[in-house]
Amino acid sequence: MAYKITEECISCGACESECDVNSAITEGETIFEIEADKCTECVGNYDSPKCVDVCPIDEAIVQDPKESKEQLLEKWKKLHPGETPK
């Protein structure tokens, strides 16, 4: 798993619109949710996770547990065949 959204989420939607990595963030019943199989912590696209960068609430998006950068990059490659990571 990469990141998860906690109960601290206020459902503002800021994270969803920032996630261009396979649309890993979707609106759940009460809070937004991150689909762990799609989340790469933005490895391959950005230097830092965009969802965390834009979230107005501290501790609303946390690592669960952290995968190695190599594992995240491999996940990214599987989700983006034929593309070159940034």
- What's the domain count of the chain? 1
**Inside any domain, residue 84:** no
In a domain? residue 85: no
> Which tens digit of pLDDT belongs to each residue from 7-61?
999 999 999 999 877 689 999 999 999 998 889 888 888 899 999 999 999 999 9
Q: Biggest alpha carbon distance in the chain?
A: 37
Residue given tokens 């949710």 in the structure block: 33
Of residues 76 and 14, the one with the higher pLDDT is 14
Which structural domain, as residue segments, surrounds residue 33? 3-79
Res 28: pLDDT: 95
77/6 Cα distance (integer angstroms): 27
d(CA 68, CA 54): 23
Kindly state the tokens that stand for 75.
């996940």
Task: Please state the pTM of the whole predicted model.
Answer: 0.78
CATH number for 14: 3.30.70.20
Res 27: pLDDT: 94
